[in-house]
Amino acid sequence: MIVTLFGVPGNMGTRVANTLAKEDYISQINLLVHDKKGLGKIIKVFKKNNKKYKIVYGSINDSEKVKEAVSCASYVINMAAVIPPESDRNPHAAIEANEKGVETLLSVLESIKENQPKLIHISTIGVYGDRTYKHPFAEVGDPLLISPFDIYSLTKMRGEYKVLESNLNSWVVIRQLAMLYDELLMKNVSDGLMFHTCFNTPLEWVTANDSATLIRNILRKDIKNELDESNFWKQCFNLAGGPKNRVTGYDTMALGFKMIGCGVEDFFDTNYNSLRNFHGEWYSDGDRLNNLFDYQSEDIRGFWKHVEDTHKYFKLARIVPKKLMKAMVIKRLLKSPNAPYYWLKHNDEARMLAYFGGVERFNSIPKDWKDFILVLKGKTPDGGTLDYEKLVSTPTHLEHYFDINKYRKLISIDDLRNVAKARGGKLLTEDFKDGDIYRKVRWVNSDGEEFEARPHTVLYCGHWMNVSYKEYAWDFDRLAKTDKMVAQIWYDAHDKDEDRYYWYDENFNSCYRKIGV
């Protein structure tokens, strides 16, 4: 059997390539890579399994190279992506890989009429946008609220939508969450991206090893004909890490910096990091994939212990004075164009509004850590208290305006109408047959724009047409006034009187204007 991988030498792609190389039932692994530069990560595997790999050099936007890469493959696993911080520095690359590249891949796969490969498409949990303690849990079917200026998640959302609406015979969309890999700490001290992580944002992690195990177990089960559309194919899942991997932004950093004998408060001032507009949450449906494929085995604390044990130089850093370490490792990053301090200094009002609610709110952040509210300590920003352990262990659900656990063959036209109404729109198709959720139907959104989409895409995957699908723009302040599903989440971190429209100009400069102006 031949398997094609897109996204090597990315962190997940490399682990998947290494893992699948050991599977006896796989005779060949085709890899589409840009050049030889990034293949160092899997060179050891190449030496042991050099007959198993076929390297195709080229871009996912080159249809001829894609055809060569997927030739005779039984499965195509698309992990190709330009991720932050590279996507922030080079938005055009993100568009080409995350959005247009998916179009090219789908076009090639749809042209294969006999023995069409099955597609496993890796998307991102970034499509859910920013969550707070008020609604920390997400599940497939929740509304997609891309955080303003998050070009990575926006392009991934568009790519995912194309897969969901494609004419492929067999596909699955898996939304990858925050991933732990050995080089994570070092890569996150090279750019201001770490300052986007809100200290109170809920984060659930999964390791690169567990992610690769999932892919391996999917293939193992499917070749035994144990998977079908009713429980796997033509569905969307969250690749979750499980309860033991639920933390916040603050303790994520605390666990990493503990290796070098420092804490968050040794390295960070209270106003280094954004107050909102990140992408992170916990997952109330994270057991769906694990129940099928039993891939969750590692936890965040064990991961950092492994990194500490295998990278002895982290312990050597403990002899460096903390103030010097802060200056060397963290404070220098405040000058990065991706850091809030840079936005403040260069009067990037659009980003200060999106990530803080404005300069005034930035200036009101308590300067002393003892006055800074941390949810993990049982306090809420509005002066209240909560049981943090109960919060972490008790999944909650949004209102979806239909029974999301209903047997799918019983989904009725009334279910479609109710969801459309909740989103401020309407179902236009009148001849929907119960359960026919993969037939494309007509809808109209709150702006009177008609669009076509499968009920599965809308009801079970959270997609609903808005400006973000057509432009690099975000209009949720306005949409939340008519879309009940958006309002459930948006007002957790935004005031109801906020009225901004955010967008990128042709040079990808961040812009905003008041709605109606």
Q: Which of 215, 240, 265 is the last residue of a domain?
A: 240
Residue 173 domain-assigned (yes or no) = yes
**pLDDT tens-digit profile of 302-315?**
988 888 887 776 77
Average pLDDT for 339-357: 98
* Residue that terminates a domain, selected from 220, 240, 260: 240
Closest C-alpha to 203, from 375, 431, 378, 381: 375
Range of the domain at 88: 2-178+206-240
Number of structural domains (the chain) is 2
Is 498 in contact with 514 (CB distance < 8 Å)?
Answer: no
Residue with the two structure tokens 């497939």: 140
Residue 147 lies in a domain: yes
426-450 pLDDT per residue, tens: 999 999 999 999 999 999 999 999 9
Could you tell me the pLDDT band of residue 34, with boundaries at 50, 70 and 90? confident
pLDDT number for residue 325: 82
Strands (E), 107-201: 118-124, 137-138, 171-176, 178-180
* Contact call for residues 212 and 259 (beta carbons, < 8 A): no
Say if 294 falls within a structural domain: no
What is the average per-residue pLDDT within 165-185? 90
Q: Kindly report, residue by residue over 124-165, the tens digit of the pLDDT.
A: 999 999 999 999 999 999 999 999 999 999 999 999 999 999
Sheet with 441-444, side-by-side order of all strands: 426-427, 441-444, 450-453
In which element (H, E) is residue 186 found? helix 184-187
Q: CATH number of the domain that 71 lies in?
A: 3.40.50.720
Evaluate whether 450 touches 443 at the Cβ level (below 8 Å).
Answer: yes
The answer to the question of residue 26 being in a domain is yes
What do you get for the CA distance between the two ends of the chain, in Å? Answer: 58
Q: Are 170 and 119 in contact (CB under 8 A)?
A: yes
Residue 309 forms part of a structural domain: no
